[in-house]
Amino acid sequence: MRDNGPVNQADQDAPETSRDDRSPSDAAADEHAGAGRGSRLYPRVTSFRSRRGSLTGPQQSAWDRMWPKIGRDVGDDLLDTASWFGREAPLIIEIGSGTGTATAAMAKAEPHVNLIAVEVYRPGLAQLLQLVEREQIPNVRVLRGDAVEVLEHMVAPESLTGVRVFFPDPWPKARHHKRRLLQAPTFALIASRLKPGGVLHVATDHAEYAEAIREAGDAEPLLTELDWESPITHERPVTKFEDKAHQVGSTITDLIWGKIK
Round to whole Å and give the CA distance between 201 and 155. Answer: 18
Helices (H) and strands (E) in the chain, counts: 9, 9
3-state secondary structure of 194: strand
Q: Which helix (H) or strand (E) holds 3?
A: strand 2-5
CA distances (Å), origin 172, targets 13, 31, 43, 201, 254: 14, 34, 21, 21, 18
With a CB cutoff of 8 Å and minimum separation 6, the contacts of 198 are 160, 161, 162, 163, 231, 258, 259
Under a CB-based contact definition with an 8 Å cutoff, are residues 63 and 35 in contact? no
Catalytic option among 11, 13, 146, 169: 169
Round to whole Å and give the CA distance between 217 and 256. Answer: 9
With a CB cutoff of 8 Å and minimum separation 6, the contacts of 227 are 258
Under a CB-based contact definition with an 8 Å cutoff, are residues 48 and 119 in contact? no
Round to whole Å and give the CA distance between 40 and 69. Answer: 21
Whether 205 is catalytic = no
Residues carrying an active site annotation = 169
